[in-house]
Amino acid sequence: HVQLVESGGGSVQAGGSLSISCVASGDASSSYCMGWFRRVAGKEREAVASICRPGPITSYADSVKGRFTISQDNAKNTLTLQMNNLKPEDTAMYYCAGTRFLLLSANRLRPSQYTYWGPGTQVTVS
């Protein structure tokens, strides 16, 4: 059983940077793919980025390409999302997620493909 806990959210001005992290406990080494997703109240959850083994292979939503970077430290069971040039539309609750399944490239940014989730961390850009 894998548990995920996010941290590092907060408030930042537009154009600024923020890094959020997710620490995995339990059988974290069995995760083939990890991802970041976000949701604004009243809207559907959307993908931000994912990182999958082998490789690792990273994928990004078009809205964050060139601004966000996902990375993983397997030794520390930590997933990180570095967010640069933040925009007000990046304001959302950010969730870390993982799956033990090896996902096809078409599925790596689909929330439905991920089986365990953290409680989320709020990012506000003004």
- Quick one: pLDDT at residue 66? 97
Task: Give the residue with greater pLDDT, 16 vs 102.
Answer: 16
Residues 6+ positions from 44 with CB-CB distance below 8 Å: none
Look up tokens 């559907």; give the residue: 44
Q: Tokens 């940077």 identify what position?
A: 17
Residue 27 has pLDDT above 90, yes or no: no
What span, in angstroms and rounded, lies between the C-alpha atoms of 121 and 22? 10
Find, among 29, 36, 48, 33, the residue nearest to 99 by Cα: 33
- Which tens digits make up the pLDDT trace of 87-98? 999 999 999 999
* Sequence-distant (≥ 6) Cβ neighbours of residue 41 within 8 angstroms: none
Look at residues 93, 90, 106 and name the one whose alpha carbon lies nearest to residue 33. Answer: 106
Residues 116, 6: contact at Cβ < 8 Å?
Answer: no
Rounded Cα–Cα distance for residues 44 and 92 (Å): 11
For residue 68, what pLDDT is reported? 98
pLDDT digits (tens, 9 = 90+) for 32-56: 899 999 999 899 999 999 999 888 9
How many CB atoms neighbour CB 48 within 10 A? 23
CA gap 125, 90 in Å, rounded: 7
In this structure, what DSSP letter does residue 85 have? S
pLDDT reported for residue 30: 78
